[in-house]
Structure 1
Amino acid sequence: MNETYTVLVVDDDHHIVELLRDFLEVDGFNVKTANNGAQALAVLKQGTIDCLILDVMMPGLNGFELCRQIREESDVPILFLSARGDDVDKIRGLSLGGDDYIVKTASPGEIVARVKAVLRRSSQGEKNMKVLDYGRLTIHLSTREVMIEGKKISLTPKEYDLLRLFAEHPKFVFSYEQLLEKFWEGIGDKHTVRVHISRLREKIEADPNQPEFITNEWGIGYRFKGE
C-alpha cells in the first residue's frame, strides 16, 4: 500500500497492543494505542485515524458500545478483535457497523492482512463515491439515494437504514431481536420489523411476494441475497 495509514489499536491487554504495534509498524503503518474505550475516544478527537482494531471485551466501555458511539459521528473502518468466535457476537459486531470481525487466535500477520483489506475496500469505496451496486438496485451512500433500474425511489429514514445494513452485509442473517435492538432500541416485537420490511419490499422488489433482495429466514429473521 503506497499511502501511510494510521491505525488505532484498542485493547486492555498490553501484550496484544504491543505485538500488533510491532507488526503494523513493520508494514509501514503509523500506530496509536489505547487500553480502554475512554482513551480511544480521546485519541480519535486528537487527529485522523484511518482504521481501528477494537477489542470487544474491555472493562467499562466495551467494544460494541464504543463502536456504537463512534458510528454516530464517523465511518472509519472498524475491525473487532475478540476471544469469542460465535456467530451471535460476529453478527452483532457487523450490525453495529463493524467492517470485520477477527478471533484472537488469528496470527498477527493475518490481522495486518485484514487491516489492509479493509483499507483497500474503504479507499475503493471513496473512489466510487460509496456506491453499492446490485444490478437493478443501486444505493448511493454519500447522498442516501436509492435507485431501482435507474429511477430514484423515496424511502423513509428507517427504511433506508434497514436497506443499507442489509446491503452492506450480504448473506448475513439478521434476527428480529438484532434488528429491534439496532433500530428500535429493543422496543417492539416481530410485527414491528415485519411491517417495515414489507413496506421496504414494496418499494424495491419487482414482486414483493417473491423477494429478490431481502429474503426470509423462517423463524429467525432476514437475509440480503445481493446476487
Structure 2
Amino acid sequence: MSTKFHLLIVDDDDKIRSLLKSFLQSKDFLVSTAENASEAKGMIDFIKFDLLIVDIMMPGMNGFDLTREIRNFSNVPVIHLTAMDEKKDVIYGLEMGADDYIAKPFEPKELELRINNILKKSSVKSKNKTLQLNNILLDLSTGSIKGLDKDLSLSENEVKILEILSSKPGESFEREFLIKSLGFNQERTLDVCINRLRKKIEKNPKVPKYLKTKRGSGYVLWID
C-alpha cells in the first residue's frame, strides 16, 4: 500500500476549506477539514495527521493559540494561513511552533510546494503500528494483513478507520465524527469501507467480533 499523507485544514471560511480540500485531493493527499480550533482538537486527539494547515484569524481560539496548544503534545508540522503578513505576526507564529506560513491571497500551487518541502524533512511519516486481532496481525504502516489463508491488504481508508478506532479500543466513535475526520463527502463511503474491512478481518462479517456497530452511537473496535 502506498500511503497518502493525511492533511488537516483548519479554517472558518467554508469556501477556502472547500477549495483547498479539492485542490489537495487532486494532488493525491488525504484531506480532512475543521471549521474551528475546537473541532480540530477533537480530530487531532484520535488521528495521526501528517501536517496541519491552520488559519490564524478564527473566532474563538485563534490559530496562534491552537498551534501553541498542539505543541504541548505533538510535533506535527503546521503551516499558518494568514492575512497578517507583518514581520512581527510571522515571527510570533513561528515562536508558537509553526513550521511555515503563507500570506493570503496565495496560489494553491505555492501551498502544495511548501507542504511537500516540509513533508520531505519531516519524520512524522515514519510510524509503525500494528494491531493484533486473535491470529490476525494488521500492519497499519504498510497495510499488510498476516494470519489469513488468503492474500489481502488494507486500503488507505481502512487504515485510517483502524487508526481512529484503535486509539481508544472499546469506545464508540460517532458516524458523523468519522465521516468528517476522514474527509468523506458521503455517508455511503463510510458504510462501504466498514463492510469491506469486516470482510477482511472478521470470521463472520455479519456477526462481527472486533469491528462492531453500536446502535445509536457509531462504531467500536474490540481488541483481545
Measured on the aligned residues, the alpha-carbon RMSD in Å equals: 1.9
Q: Partners in 2 of 1:44 and 1:113 — Cα distance? A: 24
Structure 1 residues 100-179: aligned runs within 5 Å: 100-123=100-123
Paired residues in the alignment total 126
What secondary structure is seen at the aligned counterpart in 2 of 1:112? helix
Correspondence for 1:54: 54
Report the alpha carbon displacement of residue 53 of structure 1 after superposing the two structures with TM: 0.2
Contact 2:57–2:63, Cα closer than 8 Å, also in 1: yes
Q: One-letter code of the match for 2:66?
A: L
Tell me which amino acid in the other structure corresponds to 2:88: V
Aligned AA for 1:51?
A: L
SS at match of 1:57: coil
Q: Specify whether residues 5 and 124 from structure 1 end up closer, same or farther in structure 2 by C-alpha distance, changes over 3 A only.
A: closer
Relative contact order: is structure 1 or structure 2 higher (C-alpha 8 Å, sep ≥ 6)?
Answer: 2
Report the counterpart of residue 83 of structure 1 in structure 2. 83
Partner Cα separation in structure 2 for residue 88 and residue 38 of structure 1: 26
Q: Does 1:23 align with 2:23?
A: yes
Give 1:101 deviation, angstroms.
Answer: 0.8
- The aligned counterpart of 1:43 is 43
CA drift of 1:66 comes to: 0.3
Moved over 6 A (4+): none
The 3 A distance-change label for structure 1 pair 90 and 5 is: same
Whole-Å Cα distance in 2 between the matches of residues 4 and 109 of structure 1?
18
Q: TM-score scaled to structure 1, two decimals?
A: 0.53
Gaps of 5+ in 2: 127-224
Identity among equivalent pairs (%): 42
Higher helix proportion, which one? 1
CA 1:86/1:125 → structure 2, altered by over 3 Å: closer, same or farther? farther
TM-superposed deviation, 1:15? 0.4
Q: C-alpha separation between the residues in 2 aligned to 1:125 and 1:73?
A: 17
Q: Which runs of 5+ in 1 are unaligned?
A: 127-227
- Residue type of the alignment partner of 1:91: I
